[in-house]
Amino acid sequence: MGDFFYKLKKDKIPFLAFIVLLILYLLIAFADFFAIYPSTYSNRKLAYQPPSKIYILDKDNKLKKPYVYNYIKTFNQNTLSIEYKQDRENKYKIKFFSHGYEYKLFNLIKTDIHLISKPDDCNLFLLGTDIGGHDVYSRLFFGGQISLTIGFLALLISFPIGAIYGGVSGYLGGIYDKILMRISEAIMSIPGFYLLIILASILPSNMNSQQRFTLITAILALIGWAGFSRVIRGMVLSVKNQEYIKSIETIGASKKRIILKHILPQTSSYIIIAITLSVPSYILAESGLSFLGLGIQLPDASWGNMLREAQEFANILYRPWLLVPGILIFIAVLSFNVLGDKIRDILDPKTMK
Amino acid sequence: MSTWVYIIKRILGAIPILFIVSLISFFLIRLSPVDPLAQLKLNPAISKETIEKETKRLGLDKPVIVQYALWAKNFIKGDMGYCTDNTKVSVKIKSRILNTLLLSFCVIFFSWIIAIPLGILGAVSYNSTFDKLLTLFSSVGMAIPSFFFAVIMLLFAQKTGLFPVGGLTSINFQEMNLFSKIIDILWHITLPVFVLTTISLSSLTRQMRANLLDVLNSEYVKFAYAKGLTKTKVIIKHALRNAINPIITLLGFEFAGLLSGAALTEYVFQYPGLGKLILEAVMQSDINLVMASLMIGAIMLICGNLLADILLKITDPRVRV
């Protein structure tokens, strides 16, 4: 393990990716601490407010504590559109490590301390608001909680299924192998995303958000296991005729024991590599699904469903702050790819020199 | 001769897979709580007779197994029923297949002619600045969510006015002559192709580079060098042929990825392809259309894989029948 980290540290870019991911996961672990508004906050009267500008210099160019102005909503008679204007009357100081809404850290510790809190009587939307008047900045953290964990959870379901399925198929061989492999081939023959949207669309619409999250995870897992099981089967085929397996068989070990204890552990380094390399595809799949409105649904946030706003042309032209979740998806996926490549280089004996 | 035997064997092998696919998709959709005729019944333009005909055709009054048998029989005959807007499914799907094939073909063509030389250059200049930049760019290309990239490209089209925003044809398409029709389609298809090519290009370049690196380390390449052959000759004549085989296998997978990945891109660009069709069908719970497009998708994927296997059989004589 120490050797692993040493090798990881030696290469700067993968190590940077590792740090980035660490930061991202820390941010979502302490989402409530970093958020300014609670996840349920919504004020339709303040839809599409632009990001609050933060000032640190006053009129005489003197350094001041960061402050913001309130925004006033006005209706422009000429363009027939709603405009937000700064109200330069009052300055509001931004508070740090101060009291905000109450929340429970890790569902255990009750507190109301936040990194940044909004000034009293003034709104603070660091990245503006969306159509429902949600604070985009705060929702980035809550959305990340879903987008960055759903992939891992789906992997936790799909990998054991794939490994056992491939292991049984490869070890038993013969007719079992034929039938099992035809089934997994059939699943692989359905274009994955088609299956995904069909499964997501037949979910009943009256579920609560937790049930929906669970089922979306299960659906993502259902797509991925088939391809994985084929690779495991191939590896099992090459292992099963080795002498140590024969000798365990002569001792009289059960088939279940041989598959679980002696064959599958041989594939462990491949499994670790495959896991890190498949997390990004699950993240992308979830975001695509939510982007189409078939995944995580309002009022819950995920980076994908936050990007739904980008389907409106006016939004990407005049409200570019709504595109921020896309950049975060990009950063997360890029980091996972870079890190995954490095882990493969470290663990794969073929590339060892 | 043996190639033909191989092809026939593979086609026969695809039949049980298609059968299982149809079973999976049929029961998946039938088990869902959606009434397959709900949309038809809601549409006032559709007569009672059509609905009764559909009920009979789908055998909705009979057990599920019979329903499946009926559906399978009709599907093989080419009769896929009616959509919710009373057009024939087969008519609707036919045009979409062509559009998706056109898109996929362009993407595969461009990603191959760009990715293979890039991958070769990367492997040959291993660890150079160029190689590192290539790795960086391909990582970036793989990490962009396709729909996000598509949205940004749409923004680009809107701002510059260089490309049309969405669709496959202009409004006055019918009045054009053949030449300007082709130009019009090419003009519309450029952005979707660009988005999808960038994404598939990245993984393909990496694969090509990795394969060639593997081959360059092998004994027979060292021997070719020892024989006194030039670097170009070793790479083109000896290393490349082995390095390209795994890429051909990937062709099948790539096609699969394209069918899936294109769905989102088609949706954003409003490109009338199979992916967008199935999305619309799903949103309107148009069961006939969903079933048919799922099957067609699977058939296209299997054909893609078959094509890749046959190509591999031709380029790599070691593949056994």
- The candidate with the shortest Cα–Cα distance to A271, out of A189, A166, A146, is A166
Distance from CA of A341 to the nearest CA of B (A): 10
Q: Which domains does chain A have, with CATH numbers?
A: 52-124 (no CATH), 150-347 (1.10.3720.10)
CB contact under 8 A, B264 and A292: yes
User: What residues in B contact A190, CB-CB < 8 Å?
Assistant: 21, 24-25, 294, 297-298, 301
CB contact under 8 A, B33 and A329: no
- Please indicate if any CB of chain A lies within 8 Å of the CB of B283: yes
The shortest CB-CB distance from B145 to any of A191, A202, A326 is to A326
User: What residues in A contact B24, CB-CB < 8 Å?
Assistant: 186-187, 190
* Tokens encoding A83: 């405009």
Position A121 scores a pLDDT of 73
**Phi and psi of B166, rounded to 5°?**
85, 170
Under 8 Å between Cβ of A162 and A225: yes
**Residue B160, C-beta contacts closer than 8 angstroms, at least 6 positions apart:** none
Distance from CA of A92 to the nearest CA of B (A): 35
Task: List the Cα angle B51/B57/B62 in 5-degree steps.
Answer: 100
> Of the ranges A131-135, B48-52, B273-277, which one carries the lowest mean pLDDT score?
B48-52
- Please indicate if any CB of chain A lies within 8 Å of the CB of B20: yes
Give tens-digit pLDDT for A282-319: 888 888 888 888 878 777 888 888 888 877 777 777 77
| Residue A114 DSSP label | E
Distance from CA of B96 to the nearest CA of A (A): 15
How far from A46 is each of A58, A82, A92, A267, A317, CA to CA, in Å?
27, 10, 18, 54, 19
**Phi and psi of A72, rounded to 5°?**
-110, 135
* Tokens encoding A201: 């669309």
Average pLDDT in chain B? 81
Please give the CATH superfamily to which domain B95-315 belongs. Answer: MetI-like (1.10.3720.10)
DSSP string, B173-186: GGGS-HHHHHHHHH
Position A23 scores a pLDDT of 93
- The candidate with the shortest Cα–Cα distance to B144, out of B252, B250, B244, B268, is B268
3-state helix, strand, coil split of chain A in percent (to 5) is 65, 15, 25
Q: Is A88 left (phi over 0), alpha (psi -120 to 50) or beta?
A: alpha
DSSP string, B272-312: -SHHHHHHHHHHTT-HHHHHHHHHHHHHHHHHHHHHHHHHH
> Euclidean distance between the first and final Cα of chain B, in Å?
11
Give tens-digit pLDDT for B63-90: 778 778 877 887 888 777 777 666 777 8
- pTM equals 0.84
Give tens-digit pLDDT for B214-271: 888 888 888 888 888 888 888 888 888 888 887 887 777 777 777 777 788 888 888 8
- Please indicate if any CB of chain A lies within 8 Å of the CB of B33: yes
CB contact under 8 A, B28 and A193: no
* Tokens encoding B145: 């969510």
Give the residue extent of every domain in chain B: 3-76, 95-315
CB contact under 8 A, B279 and A292: yes
d(CA B292, CA B286): 10
User: What residues in A contact B297, CB-CB < 8 Å?
Assistant: 190-191, 194
What pLDDT tens digit does each residue of chain A (353 aa) get? 567 777 777 778 888 888 999 999 999 888 888 888 887 887 777 777 777 777 777 777 777 777 777 777 777 777 777 777 777 777 777 777 877 777 777 777 787 777 877 777 777 787 877 777 788 888 889 888 888 898 888 888 888 898 889 888 888 888 888 888 888 888 888 888 888 888 887 777 777 778 888 888 888 888 888 888 888 888 888 888 888 888 888 888 888 888 888 888 877 877 887 887 788 888 888 888 888 888 787 778 888 888 888 777 777 777 778 888 888 999 999 998 888 888 877 776 555 43
Which of B148, B288, B307 to mutate against chain A (most A CBs within 10 Å)?
B148
